[in-house]
Structure 1
């Protein structure tokens, strides 16, 4: 399943010091987790005894009961390959430790003691428990077997599935043990917790879990004691959550008077790749850990995880508006710096009446607003050719008039016809020559006009076009500053839509531009309607942006990208269609690298960019065969 594993986090009903009852509840949840093919199920801190036993931890009867409960859990584990992480008090060398035990197939695979034992305000664990922070390389005799014991344990299966364990306060420390576990290779981090509820703590706790998962580039699984714990002085709400690289995949409900278990399918393969590609993970200190081998783990057969069909676009309107504001600000700051550096006051750009040039014009206009410059110094040039329709031409004119920029109309048909005659090309032959002559003439006009005015040519192409090489080399491929270069096509649509609120006076024309089919308008129209629709030729941009995201962000192989696409677009495209466009994407992405190798400067706005000077460095003559072979082998 391409590195996906199902993880469970459970909060059983609990009764203080009633081991039989507590174990019974844990067994029920463990069975549910096993039925759902979870690889591991996590239980809360000191779950066998309950956390809030107080001075009952001094009682030998409680510890005998815990051993008996542990034996019962081991018996249950013989009938399931789902591993469980359970909390228990454990004596070792005359000291009592707050521990987590990993159980699988009738064995205790290892026991990890709590490193940071709190002794402040409502917490006074040092009254009973000692820190296990310095325990490494040891074992403990428990239930007639020697069990690896210490904070230096990692649990693994097949090298890909590796997890570490910390307990409650460990996460709240300045340098949590999970940080070192991650640096040693753990992509899964588990926390057995007993975190009480006070006003505002829940939000902070969630942020802490999400942040640690992001910092460690890992999945972080958290389960805290529930409302059955003692309420003498505090209340426990049973908070339970699973995060992955900063994103909260699943969170349970607090204050339930019943047991609950949550599930999430985590992508460990993606995390492994991200650790190589992003950040300074590889420079972190690697401490020595013992590796404990897990038995076979359950494998999921169907992914129960939301796969966003539009990963570049926030699904919530409020978040989307925030993203748009930030991108607009990045574009403006970038262009302002470039204009200040070269001392130019004039910006020249081609305006087609399409989405990309509209966004470039709006971003340029916004930059001039910030710089308090005259918008007349923005020269927007429409250059109708053989494929230009009245709709796009009129929208370009209305847009420029509405913004008050300088509008220039330069028809290129005669220039192109003269060029055809010079190179001996039949204008009735609508081949790539017919198209590219127009694109290069437009770029030449813009460059020469910028020279004449002492200005700079603003590029309009976007990241999706760059990925596909959907531009004319040294035509619209080239500019003096490419302001849209870091923005995917799917997000550009929302950016333009968002600007209708910023510039309401031109909202009507912006809405019509949004409704216009994406087209380079290089082939003659049919009945004055656009005949050349980009997405009919190269496929839907929503698919190409999806392919691009997963290929670059997580290094996903084509089979995995196809698998994810089938999940994300299951009600929109069949497998044959997805495979067709993915193959086209791969071929174009590889073959068109030469255009990206000499692309102009432009601002990065998201975590993915294709600049050869920064994020993506690929040989122009790299071959695609291995990727196509992988796709062809998918079923």
Structure 2
């Protein structure tokens, strides 16, 4: 077997941006040619982007993808290129890898197993291919092999497992590739980002290289492709049970090319592996990149944020500042500004702090129930990162709404009788004015809801849920609280000192009532523990009680009351989750019904199941 120069190209693609996607592919091909690469593998659905949704069902979309495949052929002289695209045969659409070489298509390999869990709905668009089946596809006047096949390059036999194919245990195509004596298995993927997932991939790739007796090469998509899902652009290479290459993840670049010789020359050191990051670092890098892509792909001018001085809005402010810092570090200031369409009105010599001020506008919208502590926290944080800081009172608006309702009801509103309404009107009164500022600035309004609040509906519809994008809706409140401490100490954001000294509170009740979030709900670590079992693991109330009664230092009756509260609030607030702003998928699970967990808007609310739990012996 001869030495083969291998390369993987991660690409940040966008559905319907045909020319942009094609240019990323061509740039990567040219760079690979400049490095004398023999075989270049792109990720799954690299021509169209993975997030094309129901466009895959149309007749014209797969046809146009084939037209762009044809456009790529002249650029494959002297190199083998593997590209991902949808292909339609006999009214069915398949998720395929096309192998191009010297201006010709050698064949199409369709995916055999489809991802249908969590954020994936591939069975809606694609049909799984049957193992061992072969047919042909008429492409550009020629009959091209289509099906379960392998290829050869310089005496090296290679085949494909496309993303989900590799995760199907004993049924995976890799075992049949092993029987066919392949030397190399390529895994082009569109594997969504989640904190901690990279380690799982490392195990898969390393163990696969040993079990399948072949070198294993994994190449993933990159970036916030189409709004919700983030791809980390991971490239992994393993041989004989050893991980030999792992690249830096979550790059701001349009593409990355990673190349090396295989088999690895014994006289040379193996390719460098990057360290696996902590969840805090992964979260920061992922949201920073997602905000960057969302900003530039929506062609918005910046962000607007209602900055309360509390944990959630402060987290988002820091993440925008990190977007600027990391983007400039990766791309340089001129290219960063060009990418976000601001090169004409922002001086490329500006500092990170100055550029943050051009991109992030904040407002503290106080009431008579707001404290000096939260005002000072918001102001000092905004000033520390360079964000524009506005302040105003919404007491006049709240009073106007309240007077009108009191006149309609013929009575005064009272906290004892009208608590929720009096809280909600404050949150809702903030929404129209901050939306107005976002509209005037042609900016994205950032919603501040977190996953814990989404679980139990501890958020005001058309109030703090208002926004164009909800960056932290997929992570829990206790994660946010510890991340803020980490960001202050590790990232050096000293402006978080006052934020981290505060106890989380909505500040919607009069000050003498001393409102705190955890008194309204339950301790956040308890809420997260219940949520993990109820939503991620899909356990019943009684199962959760039996699991947690030994783990948590709580009286059984109190634990039961917390579990009952969670399920009652969860059930009655599904309608809110249906209306939350689009959010990024960041953790093992989320509660967005459009991407991960579907639940009926109307239901019996677990009444029978909660009774069963209540009657359980303590």
Per the normalisation by structure 2, the TM-score is 0.50
Q: Which has the larger radius of gyration?
A: 1
TM-score by length of 1: 0.48
